[in-house]
Amino acid sequence: MADQEMLVLVDENDNEIGVDTRENCHSGNGKRHRAYTVLLFHRGEMLLQRRSSKKLLWPGAWDVSYTSHVYPGESYHQASARKALQELNARVGDLEDVHSFVYFAPQGGNAENEFCRVLVGDFDGKIIPNPGEIMAVRWAAPSEIKAELETHPERFTPWFKLSFEGLLKNPAASRYGA
């Protein structure tokens, strides 16, 4: 089991209650685990990524700038710095924690069952997307994103809408043009 990715199991208040493999956390109805989404902005536009067609859940859907899980012993900010390098080959500065939510989203025989924090920040816009994780990227103004979410919500991951709406409810949204 040493080579398996281990995730932190949590309750609805983000209290740690154990660890389990990534596979077990997403099989069937899943097990609630710690996750985060990151919304990155540059010059008033947000970076969106289109998930690789090889992804288990929501392949090819438009997603947040990047998202992942917190490993045992890691903070949300440590996890987000690790994943920024892995998915975007980007270095991001301090990210602001603007929202959190619990959600369950089944797809086929698998599911997301997560306590998710939404981290937001500005960065220099320099990225080299990892093709194993991302099939495309685009930049969009918050007003464009809001309009597309209203007309074509099926194009996005379930957690995208929850993350974006969480940002819009936060006073920090105005700093990012949202």
Of 34-38, 52-56, 158-162, the range with the lowest mean pLDDT is 52-56
Task: Give the Cα separation of 97 and 37 in Å (integer).
Answer: 10
Q: Give the domains, in start order, of the chain with CATH numbers.
A: 6-176 (3.90.79.10)
Average pLDDT score over residue span 85-94: 94
Region 114-136: mean pLDDT is 96
Task: Over range 125-135, report the average pLDDT.
Answer: 95
Helix-then-strand count for the chain, H and E: 4, 9
pLDDT category, 1, cuts 50, 70, 90? very low
Q: Rounded to the nearest 5°, which phi and psi values hold at 24?
A: -65, -35
Q: Assess whether pLDDT exceeds 80 at residue 167.
A: yes
Lowest mean per-residue pLDDT among 1-5, 115-119, 171-175: 1-5
CB 78 within 8 A of CB 124: no
Q: CA angle, 11 as apex, 113 and 63 as ends, to 5°?
A: 35
7-50 tens-digit pLDDT: 999 999 999 999 999 999 999 999 999 999 999 999 999 999 99
Query: Is residue 43 within 8 Å of 125, Cβ to Cβ?
Result: yes
What is the pLDDT at residue 3? 75
Neighbours of 57 (CB within 10 A): 18
> What percent of the chain has pLDDT above 70?
99
Q: What is the pLDDT of residue 19?
A: 98
pLDDT at 178: 82
Mean pLDDT for the chain? 95
Q: What token pair was written down for 2?
A: 């040493």
Q: What is the pLDDT of residue 176?
A: 86
Output the pLDDT for position 58.
93
